[in-house]
């Protein structure tokens, strides 16, 4: 089921949390609402669910206006951050709950309910825990049960509000991989809220970046990371260094000097993995001093101080670092390989050195 949001506005008192939001969510896509706290993403999710109503604008499910439709009539499954499981019910009873409370004429027979619950228990890999209570489960297991309960009624749309936010890092990583596999098997239209950039980039088909009640950019993970629409998206999606120096831009036939005089529109934005470290000066490079080197992890993190005592962060592969290692206190030279700069319209354009 596709979802369309049109001209959606919502305020709480004098605080506007959604300002003329327009968004299309195609059928069977897993879409992430990504943004800082207070950016309006959870309110948007709750309006789609029918738990909140907009001040103006509309929500359409499959081209049908669902704006005033009650939550029970929207055919959505909702997964909360803190599980919201019934403590006095077993895992089986929690998953079956949505089916057992249906109106009599809509309620499936007990045999069908049992079959559906065990089908979901197999899906979440918790068949042996059907008779346990929530307090006998780990956090990751509880969230799987919450997800199975949301899927039990066979909803057309699955909505998740920071579903892994209360879990530790390792469990969170395992569950988001599991959610991605689950989505690929079920192909249900899904919308989930997160403030975790890595989570959105790893799980989603499409990312909606929100900030200050507005949508900043919509695109695939590759699009929003490699081609950010503006300075906010560039900063929000991963680490970035900001330069005000002279560098050389390769234009093909000649080299054009990129110069900044601390004006915002002339800033150069460079990801840590797009900076070259050299032990000698090269054209356009700037001197720096190594402040710290962290070799633990999937790549080597090098922190440097430039001539103005500004921190510069560089990420190197372990193979790169093995060939040309640097150590705390070393005097080196840095040069961006590529990055982004603001044009006259305050939009980001790419450059290569």
Over the stretch 27-74, which tens digit does the pLDDT of each residue have? 999 999 999 998 999 999 999 999 999 999 999 998 899 999 998 889
pLDDT at 260: 44
pLDDT at 168: 81
Lowest mean pLDDT among 16-30, 206-220, 246-260, 266-280: 246-260
Q: Which of 34, 43, 39 is nearest to 211 (CA)?
A: 39
User: Is there a shared CATH topology between the 3-236 domain and the 241-352 domain?
Assistant: no
160-214 pLDDT per residue, tens: 998 887 778 888 888 888 888 888 888 899 999 998 899 999 999 999 999 999 9
The alpha carbon of 121 is separated from its chain's Cα centroid by a whole number of angstroms, namely 27
Q: How many CA atoms lie within 13 A of 120 on its CB side?
A: 24
Indicate the pLDDT class of residue 258, thresholds 50, 70 and 90.
very low
pLDDT at 80: 83
The alpha carbon of 215 is separated from its chain's Cα centroid by a whole number of angstroms, namely 14
pLDDT at 245: 56
Q: Is it the case that residue 307 has pLDDT exceeding 90? A: no
The alpha carbon of 331 is separated from its chain's Cα centroid by a whole number of angstroms, namely 37
As given in the structure block, the two tokens for residue 319 are: 């193979």
CATH of domain 241-352: 2.40.50.140
Q: What is the mean pLDDT of the chain?
A: 89
122-172 pLDDT per residue, tens: 988 899 999 999 999 998 899 889 999 999 998 999 999 988 877 788 888
Query: What fold characterizes domain 3-236?
Result: Rossmann fold (3.40.50)
pLDDT at 247: 53
DSSP type of residue 34 = E
- Residues belonging to the chain: 353
Domain ranges of the chain: 3-236, 241-352
> What CA–CA distance (Å, rounded) separates 167 from 148?
17
306-to-110, 246, 266 alpha-carbon distances in Å: 70, 13, 18
Can you give the pTM of this predicted structure? 0.85
Residue 15 falls in which region: left (phi positive, over 0), alpha (psi -120 to 50) or beta: beta
211-to-17, 86, 156, 162 alpha-carbon distances in Å: 10, 34, 28, 17
* ∠ Cα 51 55 56 (to 5°): 110
Q: Is it the case that residue 248 has pLDDT exceeding 80? A: no
Q: Is it the case that residue 253 has pLDDT exceeding 50? A: no
- Give the Cβ contact number of residue 88 at 10 Å: 9
Q: Is it the case that residue 111 has pLDDT exceeding 50? A: yes
Query: How much is the average pLDDT of 243-267?
Result: 52
324-to-149, 241, 317, 321 alpha-carbon distances in Å: 53, 22, 11, 5
């Amino acid at each position: 089921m596709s979802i369309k949001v049109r001209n959606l506005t919502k305020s709480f008192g004098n605080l506007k949390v959604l300002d003329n939001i327009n968004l299309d969510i195609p059928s069977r896509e897993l879409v992430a609402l990504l943004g800082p706290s207070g950016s309006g993403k959870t309110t948007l999710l709750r309006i789609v669910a029918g738990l909140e109503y907009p001040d103006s604008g509309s929500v359409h499910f499959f081209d049908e206006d669902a704006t005033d439709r009650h939550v029970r009539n929207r055919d959505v499954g909702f997964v909360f951050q803190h599980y919201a499981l019934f403590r006095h019910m077993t895992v089986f009873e929690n998953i079956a709950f949505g089916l057992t409370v249906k109106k009599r004429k809509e309620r499936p027979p007990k045999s069908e309910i049992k079959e559906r619950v065990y089908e979901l228990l197999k899906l979440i890999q918790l068949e042996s825990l059907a008779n346990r209570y929530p307090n006998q489960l780990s956090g990751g297991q509880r969230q799987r049960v919450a997800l199975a309960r949301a899927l039990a009624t066979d909803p057309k749309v699955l909505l998740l509000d920071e579903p892994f936010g209360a879990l530790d890092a390792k469990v969170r990583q395992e569950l988001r991989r599991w959610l991605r596999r689950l989505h690929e098997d079920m192909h249900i239209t899904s919308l989930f809220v997160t403030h975790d950039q890595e989570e959105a980039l790893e799980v989603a088909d499409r990312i909606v970046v929100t900030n200050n009640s507005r949508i900043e950019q919509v695109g695939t993970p590759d699009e929003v990371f490699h081609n950010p629409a503006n300075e906010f998206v560039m900063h929000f999606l991963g680490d970035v260094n900001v330069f005000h120096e002279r560098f050389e831009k390769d234009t093909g036939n000649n080299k054009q000097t990129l110069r900044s005089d601390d004006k915002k529109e002339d800033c150069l934005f460079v990801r840590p993995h797009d900076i070259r470290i050299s032990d000698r000066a090269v054209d356009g490079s700037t001197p720096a001093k190594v402040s710290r080197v962290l070799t633990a992890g999937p790549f080597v993190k090098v922190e440097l101080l430039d001539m103005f005592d500004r921190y510069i962060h560089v990420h190197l592969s372990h193979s790169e670092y093995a060939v040309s290692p640097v150590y705390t206190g070393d005097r080196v030279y840095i040069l961006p390989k590529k990055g982004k700069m603001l044009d006259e319209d305050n939009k980001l354009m790419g450059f290569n050195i």
